[in-house]
Structure 1
């Protein structure tokens, strides 16, 4: 016979066990992700960082998304079609979608956002949407985007920040500071941000595709050091990390608690050179293309890949990877040539040109910078390395407060999105203010051509120009490598390197 005291003990024990189960269940639905860098403002109009795009993948759905194969698929728009003259793109929108503030996501909201991106003085999307003449609401679920000229990359543009739709009500309240409290229509909504530390999002229960979301919340922690990020994963402080160092793939092979996840990538690293943006451009590297050509020839990209990335990152001198539809084999990478580099410096009449190379404060990128420093010295360059926090580096570069900066570009499915931001006269990543009218003309022509073979010919000519002028130096393309705890399932790698949480589960 059980006493009343015994019954209370059993009841207490049952409650205790239930509490444990509830706590475990809640913990299992909270995902902690380690990022290499702190994002800039969480406003699609002004954002420019890779880390920002990772956050946006959970926070702000786009009109169009990409697939794991790099093609396009519906998201907020269920379909899209071109008019016969290619001057109007009509989108059909998903019904019964709401923003995080409960307001409807409809054609009027799309118009507000696209008009903001293309006209607001603070917007960095204006160049991407420059051909857009008007955005017309046909009915609550239909939008017609009318162009001043044919613009083949528009679908790709709408699959990125320019296709992210924010709440018009939230924009009306505080458009200039919306990045501090973003309100979108994605699977997770904003909770808080502590600069240089973490960003927390929670599941949005009214998300249109909520059945694909198994997580209650996600916290992004900013950990620039690759080794520390991996250590935090192996200890269980993190569940998923981006950009696992290639040298660490073998190191975790026998660790049953974690796993590496590899996928294709269209991302690449470049050295941007200040050509004409303020006083920092007034040096031999900025003034003389032959000096820049010499620097490019002094760099052994293959050696950098072997030493820093275990040979996994293919060397590149173009924005398109080898074998891609718009890669130009007639301008294939020829490799390092120190003798030729010295000859070019002599022709330029420059002795021991000196410049500062800014790199993000990551040990891996610091190693790349140091290798560039040593290699360039053999050709006669005096390179100083400046290590900066990622957002500071980006801000300095955007303001022209740099001579050369190393940066990552996460890549775009359309070739225009990989080249124009960096080298077009009004490119939003053209920090050095390089401008060649002949190149701009070719890029404009390529945007108006939908035939792949004809576009490829135009881009081949473009490659020839930027390899001669050298406003930037592509170094290599990435291979995407993530690492996760063994209890994290359902993560699918995409070529753009973004972390999509649809289907991700934690047991």
Structure 2
């Protein structure tokens, strides 16, 4: 019997059951925006945000970091955005796309009168150039997000036309994230990397960056809705330690802090001069297994050696060794939820198949390892971010998988270095997450399709590719949900990724600040924040 056959038997033997979420986590109410009712916003001021990790390149085409999205949300508008309800709304586009009956032609109307921060006029041709860059740049991680585009054109200054070979339903959702951030053609033509002199249409524009320290933005007076912007500057200060972020928030040295640790959240809720925003996440945290990334992401898949990379039974055993509910509840004080899939259970795409989870079963894990001829304990080296929460979880994980026959060795690495090592394929197992997108395609295809922009484990499966392509061609939510359930079932068989838990997005801010927003996509939005002048 082949590996795939063993995989099916293993899953059948251990069983999949729906995750039982701890009530303390699942019953927490979302608070996605700092209060604005009855508040007069102060004009001007310098807002400081504590950023939990160093962003990577300030380039929408090549960036992979959530923290880059925080910064760019203030200076790089997209064709579309999402609102507090998770609905797609126009930003640089003036309306939702018009799609032809056959689904092959998409027409997008765009703004008149907008200007990039470097003074270049915004128009449909600039949109065309950005989208073509996303499709052709050798380091682009946006191509899979945009689907099988055959041609992009700009028949006039306010109309963009995208033509497909086959229908692609997730396009609008993709354009509500980095794929839809439009870059200045002038900045793209300048010498050097765009990330060194980024220019977009946005409320704020880039001033300077001090690596590992800070990124500074200032208000752009040429922004088309400048009357809605209150702050003079936004400074993002890098503070990787959650305790330091919380201390700076309490002292008033920073006004906003992202990724508040569950270790601090309950205490901060009791502070009179601080407030917490919190929202459920569309994303996940998990473990990526390097199966075929021997030469760097984007290079042809090359099967790596070693039992974890070469035998699905070993990966299944690792999956079965993780006691998700116990780990999440003990490490994160019931603030987070266990997860076994990239499909958030709160979305319309969730099904029994996509929310099912292999039962924690260390004895079955050891049996699979024995079947695979593995001498236990099997040593596995795991890269992990050097943040306190990530280290706490990895240490608890280490103890959990030991029961299943694994000797997990933890190698802490600074976050931006971790991203580079992931892209270079310099890992066996890596603990990282994804902040989430409103369409499941954005949470799955880039990671699971052969050659996907974020498929850093080098996983390749024709069956998986076919499922994801077919799902993207459908408009019916139920039909798509059924296919994504099959995707999750195949993930549990092949185990290129092990989904472990789903965070809540927790943002702290001073009561002297209004208009801060944190939505389910994980991005902290500061563009329309302000200091409070007075309250009614």
Normalised-by-shorter TM-score class? over 0.9
Q: Distance in 1 between matches of 2:142 and 2:485?
A: 26
Q: Where do residues 189-200 of structure 1 align in structure 2 (5 Å cutoff)?
A: 189-200=205-216
Equivalent residues of 1:328, 1:460 under 8 A apart: yes
Matched, 1:31 2:56: no
Q: Residue 146 of structure 2: SS of its match in structure 1? A: coil
Q: Distance in 2 between matches of 1:247 and 1:322?
A: 25
The equivalent of 2:360 in structure 1 is: 336
Matched, 1:81 2:104: no
1:438 to 463, 483, 499: 463
Q: Distance in 1 between matches of 2:261 and 2:479?
A: 38
Deviations 1:86-110 (A, max 9, x none): 1111111111000001111101111
Q: Gapped runs of 5+ residues in structure 2?
A: 1-40, 296-302
Q: Distance in 1 between matches of 2:78 and 2:260?
A: 27
Q: Residue 58 of structure 1: SS of its match in structure 2? A: coil
Equivalent residues of 2:135, 2:142 under 8 A apart: yes
The equivalent of 1:136 in structure 2 is: 153
Matched, 1:97 2:114: yes
Equivalent residues of 2:331, 2:396 under 8 A apart: no
The equivalent of 1:233 in structure 2 is: 249
Taking CA–CA contacts closer than 8 Å with sequence separation of 6 or more, which of the two structures ends up with the larger relative contact order? 2
Q: Which runs of 4+ in 1 moved over 6 A?
A: 25-28
The equivalent of 2:267 in structure 1 is: 251
1:278 to 280, 285, 294: 294
Deviations 1:57-104 (A, max 9, x none): 011000111111112000000012111111111111111000001111
TM-score by length of 2: 0.87
Superposed displacement of residue 212, structure 1: 2.2
Matched, 1:48 2:64: yes
TM-score by length of 1: 0.92
Superposed displacement of residue 162, structure 1: 1.1
Aligned residue pairs total 482
Q: Residue 145 of structure 2: SS of its match in structure 1? A: coil
1:369 to 375, 394, 399: 394
Q: Residue 509 of structure 2: SS of its match in structure 1? A: strand
Q: Distance in 2 between matches of 1:444 and 1:433?
A: 18
Q: Distance in 1 between matches of 2:241 and 2:167?
A: 44
Q: Residue 236 of structure 2: SS of its match in structure 1? A: strand
The equivalent of 2:226 in structure 1 is: 210
Superposed displacement of residue 344, structure 1: 0.9
Q: Where do residues 11-410 of structure 1 align in structure 2 (5 Å cutoff)?
A: 29-79=45-95, 80-174=97-191, 177-278=193-294, 281-330=304-353, 332-351=356-375, 352-410=377-435
Q: Residue 152 of structure 2: SS of its match in structure 1? A: strand
Q: Distance in 1 between matches of 2:60 and 2:348?
A: 29
Equivalent residues of 1:99, 1:184 under 8 A apart: yes
Superposed displacement of residue 184, structure 1: 0.6
Q: Distance in 2 between matches of 1:492 and 1:253?
A: 17
Equivalent residues of 2:107, 2:161 under 8 A apart: yes
Matched, 1:489 2:506: no
Q: Distance in 2 between matches of 1:195 and 1:353?
A: 39
Q: Residue 358 of structure 1: SS of its match in structure 2? A: strand
Deviations 1:271-320 (A, max 9, x none): 00001122994221111111111111111111221122211211110101
The equivalent of 1:4 in structure 2 is: none
Q: Where do residues 465-484 of structure 1 align in structure 2 (5 Å cutoff)?
A: 465-484=490-509
Q: Distance in 2 between matches of 1:449 and 1:259?
A: 42
Are residues 130 and 320 of structure 1, via their aligned partners in 2, closer, same or farther at CA, if it must alter by over 3 Å?
A: closer
The equivalent of 1:8 in structure 2 is: none
Q: Distance in 2 between matches of 1:264 and 1:483?
A: 15
Q: Residue 379 of structure 1: SS of its match in structure 2? A: coil
Q: Gapped runs of 5+ residues in structure 1?
A: 1-24
The equivalent of 2:447 in structure 1 is: 422
Superposed displacement of residue 27, structure 1: 10
Q: Distance in 2 between matches of 1:298 and 1:28?
A: 53
